[in-house]
Amino acid sequence: MIRFDQVTKLYAGNSRPALNSVTLEILKGEFVFLVGASGSGKSSFLRLVLKEENPSKGRIHVLGQDLGRLTSRKVPYFRRNLGVVFQDFRLLPQKTVFGNVAFSMQVIGKSKGFIQEAVPDVLKMVGLAGKASRLPHELSGGEQQRVAIARAIVNKPAILLADEPTGNLDPSTSAGIMTLLERISSSGTTVIMATHDAGIVDQMKRRVIELVSGQIVRDERQGGYQTQAIPLQASPRESSDGLAHTHDPVPQSQVPTATTPAPVRRFAP
């Protein structure tokens, strides 16, 4: 489904690569957490999958297509197979919930009749039935993220990319969003979620890929946010460059180590 082959991504004017010789494979229907500090390469990874960026070295295959050989004319058609959700929702403020979801179908030329049928269905699936005519600012953060998810999945993508989808939400709302993502995953969609939310990762027990300074340091089936098995190899180096865990809710001195498990948050049902 997604295969990275020795992929290195260097941004201009930065000698340290954002991704350094990353090789991995993600299979159909998998639910993958991408964890790591800010600047560890999670977003670069997602951008490479979307072909918003091209790798400096290495090859990327997504959905059986070699992204290096995809002409820019074909990129839009390739992207119709991917859905994307962001931390900041990115809804169109002047369009209603229905309009926001319908927009992503209109612009790829879906018929009016089909849109009228598909949008209420997907809104019902994400739990927003009856709120179709609301404007985004009339909704709570969790509801706005549900609209964004509805927009991402309404075209039935094979892969859903989520870049910290719960970053702006409180724990109980986050849990609701995770339940929704789990349901989407169980219907066969591959879900890749970049996150800092230790509680969610620990509770879900899914595949976890941890990036440190652009390198994969851990790829664990049914893993947690912090590993119980291998020590954190790159911790000292990371602390020295001042990027480490600035996003972390716990102070630096209390960063859990391999021997002290991370505090597990409880989800509201």
Partner 1 sequence: MRFGLIMSEVGNGLRRNITMVISVILVTFISLTFVGAAILLQAQIGQMKGYWYDRAQVAVYFCTASSVGECNLVEATPDQKNFVEAQLQSPGLAALIDRYEFESHEQAYARYQEQFSDNEFADFVSPEFLNEAFWVNLNDPTQSDALVESLSGLAGVEEVKDQRKYLDPIFAALNAASFTAIGIASLMLVAAVLLIATTIRLSAFSRRRELGIMRLVGASNRFIQTPFILEGVIAALIGSVLAAGAVLAIVRFFVQGYLGSTLQTTTAVIGMSEALLVAPILLLVGVVLAAASANVAISRYLKV
Rule CB under 8 A: which residues touch partner 1?
Answer: 50-52, 72-73, 75-82, 84, 90, 92-93, 103-104, 106-109, 111-112, 151, 155
Sequence-distant (6+) residues with CB within 8 A of 58 are 4, 5, 6, 7, 8, 21, 22, 23
Shortest distance (Å) from residue 125 CB to partner 1? 18
CA 125 vs CA 80, 101, 148, 172, 184: distances in Å: 20, 13, 13, 19, 9
- Distance CA(133)–CA(140), nearest Å, equals 15
- Distance CA(224)–CA(214), nearest Å, equals 20
Shortest distance (Å) from residue 133 CB to partner 1? 19
- Distance CA(229)–CA(236), nearest Å, equals 18
Count of all residues that appear for the chain in the document: 269
CB 238 within 8 A of CB 244: yes
Shortest distance (Å) from residue 115 CB to partner 1? 9
Closer Cβ to partner 1, 72 or 259, answer by number: 72
Closer Cβ to partner 1, 84 or 178, answer by number: 84
CB 94 within 8 A of CB 86: no
Closer Cβ to partner 1, 153 or 169, answer by number: 153
Closer Cβ to partner 1, 80 or 266, answer by number: 80
Shortest distance (Å) from residue 137 CB to partner 1? 14
Closer Cβ to partner 1, 38 or 116, answer by number: 116
Closer Cβ to partner 1, 103 or 267, answer by number: 103
- Distance CA(149)–CA(155), nearest Å, equals 11
Shortest distance (Å) from residue 208 CB to partner 1? 26
Shortest distance (Å) from residue 147 CB to partner 1? 12
